[in-house]
Structure 1
Amino acid sequence: MAAFSLQAQPIDAAEWLDLARRAEAAGFDTLLAADHPGSCAAPFVALAAAAAITSTIQLGSYVANAGIREPMLLAADVATLDVVSGGRAVLGMGAGHTPAEWDAVGRVRPGVRGRVDRCVAVADATVRLLAGEKVTVAGPELTMLNAVLEEPRPVRERVPLLVGTANSRLLRWAGEHADVVGLTGFGRTKADGHQHEARWRLAEIDAQVELARSGGDAALEALVQMVEVTDDAEAVLAGHAERMGISVGDLAEVPFVLVGTEDEIVAAVRRHRERWGITRYAVRRNALDLLGPLLPRLA
């Protein structure tokens, strides 16, 4: 019915390796690591460590910030991860949003259009490098000259590309070019430069899915912000629904929330597939224990 990815980052070596083992044993499809330089671990270093003590779980960035990453360096990281994991790397990319990350590398953070242009250019160039092509790009968002990733070469012929976004133009591009479209449900970036408003109204999700579906058949993955197994979903959701200005009933249908009894969560995942075609979910660390026992029913 659905595949589940677990997003986390290291706290210490022993805990991280134990988490990777447990995620694989529970049946999670992918272990994901965020990319926020200065505020979290380097994703590909963490994932390479996890690769050494796992054998089947895929390993990917969720998501690499295209605004501050260069395609050649990114491709080398992903190809190396694919080699040391025996062909389990996933390239997850997004346009980025946190101003401090641009400041830290001495770049000016573009507006939305500029960030999307850069993401498309970096994603395309990185995929081409991983495929063994010689890449030349001359544009305002990216410049490269005769770039070739000679070594290391990825194990797989194609490293899967995941693009996480809620931007209309990037959703359409990802639907045409990516293997997985990560539906984030994000709206406008808040004043702290990191958190977002939510675009969780059912009609908004309908529109996001329609854009992602307009040009291709990429798998759809929802980034889940809340997981709770409870006999009283209404009590858990009521405060959130009020703050967001939507009904509890509508919030219970949002794919970015999995709250309820085990049977209710299984039923919700089934409805999401029927309504939107969502077949993948990315969940946070706390969901390892909450959803792990449910994965045989959800898979």
Structure 2
Amino acid sequence: MAIFSVQARPTDAASWTELARRVEAAGYDALLAADHPGHGASPFVALAAAAAVTSTLGLGSYVSNAGIREPILLATDVATLDVVSGGRARLGLGAGHTPAEWRAVGWERPDVAGRVRRCVAVAEAVRALLAGEEVTVDSPELAAYATRLTELRPVQDRIPLTMGTANSTLLRWAGAHADVVGLTGFGRTLPDGHQHEVRWGSDQIEAQLAQVTAGAAGRDRPPALEALVQQVTVTDDAEAAAAVIAADTGLTTAAVLATPFVLIGTADEIVAAVGHHQRRWGITRFVVRVDAVEALAPLLPRLTA
């Protein structure tokens, strides 16, 4: 059985709440909001609005930039969302790749190693705060002193944590500690600070999963694996649709059709591809963009059975 969620961001109240209702009614597992301060809406405010018009839909950030989010503020937002949604909050975290977001809070974006250290420190602090613990951290990456949620407790004993990454160190950490490893398929950040090269090849996926497996050694239950799907196209000519992506990414058409980061083909071909990704990679969860909601909805009964 596969699990499908939707990543979106609001542009107005009516369309956002209607999307939340449609996503829940169609059988998607969660509505996930992107988190790019200054470049989009606040995810937790938007998700609280979605909570008011739904009853079972999971609600989470996908993903919050740990580089520019302070643990006490992030934990407060997540715990509040859990309270107002009746226990449906999720938390997605990433290391933060966009230089403009760092500069907007008065910092220069660190190198990869520095961003990874900061991400781990924030993840550990937020998880401890949500568990009701007092947190003190004093390191080059993070400082917090005698911090705790004193009058606010989430409904869930453990709010699910997704670590969205393609970085080897974070993949190992996620294997050891996260509930879900969000495989982004991202490679090197391009000069615009937003776009990425892709890591969609079979050998690249295998290398990433090896890091997760190494981190998960000794866990009773390893984390679930989730792929961020960049494009869903239901078509009778999968090769033609995949060829366009192949030209943009430098992959072969066959490699595009084989990767879990796109779903292209007839309904039967997409169902078969999802089953293949489960068997080959162990990927059981998929996040799709909002423009895929209607196209994929008729397939969900087969994909999630």
2:181 matches 1:181 = yes
- Give the drift of 1:209: 1.3
Q: Percent identity?
A: 67
Q: Which residue identity is paired with 1:253?
A: A
Q: Which residue identity is paired with 1:175?
A: G
SS in 2 for 1:120: helix
The aligned residue for residue 34 of structure 2 is 34
The aligned residue for residue 160 of structure 1 is 160
- Give the drift of 1:243: 3.7
The aligned residue for residue 289 of structure 2 is 284
The aligned residue for residue 190 of structure 2 is 190
2:294 matches 1:256 = no
Runs of 4+ in 1 over 4 A off after TM superposition: none
Distance across 1 between alignment mates of 2:251 and 2:64: 32
The aligned residue for residue 219 of structure 2 is none
CA RMSD of aligned residues (A): 0.8
Distance across 2 between alignment mates of 1:88 and 1:71: 20
Distance across 1 between alignment mates of 2:244 and 2:51: 40
2:235 matches 1:230 = yes
SS in 2 for 1:151: coil
Superposed counterparts of 1:123-162, under 5 Å? 123-162=123-162
The aligned residue for residue 273 of structure 1 is 278
Per-residue CA distance 1:70-113 (angstroms, 9 max, x = gap) = 00000000000000000000011000011110111111210100
Q: Which residue identity is paired with 1:282?
A: V
Per-residue CA distance 1:53-72 (angstroms, 9 max, x = gap) = 10001000000000000000
The aligned residue for residue 51 of structure 1 is 51
Distance across 2 between alignment mates of 1:80 and 1:219: 25
234-243 vs 152-161, greater mean Cα deviation? 234-243
Q: Which runs of 5+ in 1 are unaligned?
A: none
- Conserved in 1, the CA contact under 8 Å of 2:44 and 2:61? yes
The aligned residue for residue 63 of structure 1 is 63
Corresponding residue pairs, total: 299
- Give the drift of 1:244: 2.8
Q: Which residue identity is paired with 1:26?
A: A
TM-score by length of structure 1 reads: 0.99
- Conserved in 1, the CA contact under 8 Å of 2:8 and 2:32? yes
Distance across 2 between alignment mates of 1:196 and 1:246: 14
SS in 1 for 2:38: coil
- Conserved in 1, the CA contact under 8 Å of 2:160 and 2:179? yes
Q: Which runs of 5+ in 2 are unaligned?
A: 217-221
Per-residue CA distance 1:15-67 (angstroms, 9 max, x = gap) = 00000000000011010001101111000000000000100010000000000
TM-score by length of structure 2 reads: 0.97
SS in 2 for 1:106: coil
- Give the drift of 1:150: 1.5
SS in 2 for 1:258: strand
Distance across 1 between alignment mates of 2:3 and 2:244: 29
